[in-house]
Amino acid sequence: MRPDRVVLVCGTATDVGKTWVGARLLAVLRGRGLTVAARKPAQSFEVDGDGGVLGGATDAEVLGEASGERPDQVCRRSRWYPRAMAPPMAAEALGLPAFTVADLYGALAWPTRSVAVGLVETAGGVRSPQADDGDAVDFCGALRPDAVVLVADAGLGTINSVSLSMAALSTAVGDPPAAVVVLDRYDHSRELHRRNRAWLERRAGYRVLVLPGEEELLADAVAASA
């Protein structure tokens, strides 16, 4: 059962804060009384010498805590890859079976109960491999989300990375009715961060929000019809 509104959270690169942004968004939506579900089609992560997850938790665990679901509901255990590579590369390195974009999409397994907002987080940047036959743009084309949240770093290089990422996404979904750029780790005291936001809004024409601080506005943007 597809949620009433499906939101794709993707990033301009790895480690830009997609999972943190997704978790904050889920928390705000739940706080408004909306039913939510989170899905991570595949996840890869680094482990220490004792087999523990570096950083303390996987993306599925963080998202599950925010959505009120078990980690293995967020991401099927068969798609957990303890190797810090793109998921299909990690599977290959571990000697595990290859998989396709269709495999990932078909295994999302939304709850049978009615869900107002379903959040799906991809791995890495928009051109990072998600499966043997496609990247996050290809997955976005299969998912056909109602809203897209593109998470980017607020510092140097963000105008280039945001513009390239949004252009790539437009090939899959055109212009989503709720496309939002989120500048993560935004510091209002830094001139570069302020100027990056202003350029992306005024020159590039994107809707730009910043975190921390504008979680409520982000929830408004993605849940308008939920």
HEC per residue, 83-136: CCCCHHHHHHHCCCCCCCHHHHHHCCCCCCCCCCEEEEEEEEECCCEEECCEEH
Side chain identity, residue 108:
L
State the DSSP string of 9-34. EEESSTTSSHHHHHHHHHHHHHHTT-
- For residue 59, pLDDT over 90 is answered with yes
Confidence of residue 108 (pLDDT cuts 50, 70, 90): very high
| Spans of all domains in the chain | 5-222
The single residue listed with the structure tokens 């599950």 is: 64
What average pLDDT does range 85-103 have in this prediction?
A: 98
Q: Catalytic: which of 40, 76, 79, 197?
A: 40
- Given CATH 1.20.120.530, say whether it is the number of domain 5-222: no
Which pLDDT does position 77 carry in this prediction?
96
Told to judge if 40 belongs to the known catalytic residues of this protein, a careful annotator would answer yes
| 31: confidence class by pLDDT, cuts 50, 70, 90 | very high
Mapping DSSP to helix (H, G, I), strand (E, B) and coil, where does residue 209 land?
Answer: strand
Per-residue confidence at 47, pLDDT binned at 50, 70, 90?
Answer: confident
3-state secondary structure of 155: coil
C-alpha 84/C-alpha 3 separation (Å) is 31
Per-residue pLDDT tens for 159-186?
A: 999 999 999 998 877 665 568 999 999 9
- Could you give the CA distance from residue 213 to residue 181 in angstroms, rounded to a whole number? 14
Structure tokens at 111: 């709850």
pTM beyond 0.85 = yes
- Amino acid identity of residue 190, one-letter, is R
Token couple for 221:
């943007």
